[in-house]
């Protein structure tokens, strides 16, 4: 038994043959899955009834349920989606002019333990399978046409590399949902082996790296991953990735009041990221997290001064708005709310 949403379009003929089914059905199956977007095989009316039954047995369509939803004043919707075993993950829908972005999860919880993150605070329950990752997209598209995906929800994508990349390849496939690779961004906290593997895929997914501090002393305090792969090794790996793929990396830097928002931090950050060709920086005001009440958002004045240092040092930088904070939109908070009651 293989879930239908884990099979890449080019694999369907072989998958059918292996089960003694007629491979010429592959085209009809793909149309049912990714043109009609069926949610159960009974709805694939172009297939004979008997085949629909066999498809259900051999290639089931992953079932999901909406367990909770939170919507913020700025239109951001946060959905908590449950799978058959009761595990649940968050996916976030973010409308903007000309865009409808979905943030998806790759694991139930996360083992990385970043201090500012609710998912990390709950630990890892399990990794998602490719079809479960795809099922979030399938759920999200019911709310509107998804133009962009960011893999920034619960979990570390490079800690679940094979299933994550399979899911993204499927969403990207021309005979699948056909979402352009440049509209799909993978975000890692710095799991170094994943960069080399991704650079060998030959697919132009965007890559962003959560940096959040300009040196090992600060970064190790909030991101345990830094003790395994320190900032020098991470940035050398980023530079090698950029040289090989010719793709720019975006560094995410969450500004936390009194911790990493000083002008000295800004100067050090500029110096560090300039070692990576074409590097860009996204500055993100902290979304307060309930388990760290001591973490606060810096003032607008402080954030603008930080931005100014980076720009003056020639680093392409954006100061983002933090969106959806009234919908528990910081990663992992909706699930945590549900678990903690």
Binding site for ligand SF4 (CB under 6 A): 110, 112-114, 117, 119-120, 154-156, 189, 331
Nearer to ligand SF4, 114 or 269 (CB): 114
Q: How far apart (Å, rounded) are the C-alpha atoms in residues 218 and 216?
A: 6
Nearer to ligand SF4, 32 or 127 (CB): 127
* CB-neighbour burial class of residue 258 (10 A; exposed 0-12, middle 13-18, buried 19+): exposed
Question: Nearest distance from residue 180's CB to ligand SF4, in Å?
Answer: 24
Question: Nearest distance from residue 125's CB to ligand SF4, in Å?
Answer: 12
Closest-CB residue for ligand SF4? 120
Which residue of the set 90, 156, 163, 206 is catalytic? 90
Nearer to ligand SF4, 92 or 331 (CB): 331
Active-site annotation holds for 252: no
Question: Nearest distance from residue 269's CB to ligand SF4, in Å?
Answer: 18
Strand pairing category for 206-210 and 184-188: parallel
Question: Nearest distance from residue 316's CB to ligand SF4, in Å?
Answer: 23
What is the C-alpha R_g of the chain? Answer: 21
Contact predicate 282/150, CB 8 Å: no
Question: Nearest distance from residue 271's CB to ligand SF4, in Å?
Answer: 24
Nearer to ligand SF4, 270 or 289 (CB): 289
Contact predicate 101/147, CB 8 Å: yes
Degrees (nearest 5) of the Cα angle 306, 257, 74? 85
Nearer to ligand SF4, 32 or 287 (CB): 287
Contact predicate 163/141, CB 8 Å: no
DSSP state for residue 91 in the 8-state scheme: E
Question: Nearest distance from residue 284's CB to ligand SF4, in Å?
Answer: 11
Q: Kindly write down the DSSP assignment for every residue of 272-338, as one continuous string.
A: HHTTSTT-EEEEEEPPP-TT-TT--PPPHHHHHHHHHHHHHTT-EEEEPPP--GGGT-STTHHHHHH
Nearer to ligand SF4, 135 or 226 (CB): 226
Q: Which residues partner with 77 through β-bridges?
A: 71, 93
Q: How far apart (Å, rounded) are the C-alpha atoms in residues 135 and 238?
A: 30
Which residue of the set 103, 110, 189, 331 is catalytic? 331
Active-site annotation holds for 110: no
Instruction: State the catalytic residues.
Output: 90, 331
């Amino acid at each position: 038994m293989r879930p239908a949403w884990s099979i890449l379009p080019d694999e369907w003929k072989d998958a059918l043959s292996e089960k003694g089914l007629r491979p010429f059905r592959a085209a009809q199956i793909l149309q049912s899955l990714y043109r009609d977007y069926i949610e159960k095989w009974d709805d694939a009316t172009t297939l004979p009834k008997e085949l629909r039954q066999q498809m259900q047995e051999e290639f089931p369509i992953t079932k999901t349920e909406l367990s909770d939803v939170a919507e913020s004043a700025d239109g951001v919707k946060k959905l908590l989606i449950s799978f058959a075993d009761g595990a649940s993950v968050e996916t976030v829908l973010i409308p903007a002019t000309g865009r409808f972005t979905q943030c998806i999860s790759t694991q139930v919880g996360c083992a990385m333990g970043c201090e500012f993150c609710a998912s990390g605070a709950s630990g890892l329950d399990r990794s998602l399978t490719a079809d479960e990752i795809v099922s979030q997209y399938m759920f999200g598209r019911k709310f509107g046409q998804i133009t962009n995906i960011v893999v920034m929800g619960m979990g570390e994508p490079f800690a679940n590399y094979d299933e994550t990349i399979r899911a993204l390849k499927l969403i990207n496939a021309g005979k699948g949902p056909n979402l352009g690779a440049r509209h799909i961004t993978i975000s890692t906290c710095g799991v170094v082996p994943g960069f080399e593997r991704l650079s060998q895929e030959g697919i132009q997914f965007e890559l962003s790296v959560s940096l959040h501090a300009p040196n090992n002393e600060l970064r190790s305090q909030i991101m345990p991953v830094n003790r395994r792969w320190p900032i020098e090794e991470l940035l050398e790996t980023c530079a090698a990735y950029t040289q090989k793929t010719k793709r720019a990396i975006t560094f995410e830097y969450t500004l936390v009041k009194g911790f990493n928002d000083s002008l000295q931090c800004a100067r050090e950050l500029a110096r560090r990221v300039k070692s990576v060709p074409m590097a860009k920086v996204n500055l993100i005001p902290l979304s307060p997290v309930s388990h760290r009440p001591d973490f606060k958002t810096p003032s607008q004045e402080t954030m603008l001064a930080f931005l100014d240092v980076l720009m003056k040092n020639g680093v392409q930088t954006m100061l983002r708005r933090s969106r959806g904070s009234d919908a528990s939109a910081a990663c992992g908070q909706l699930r945590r709310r549900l678990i903690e009651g």
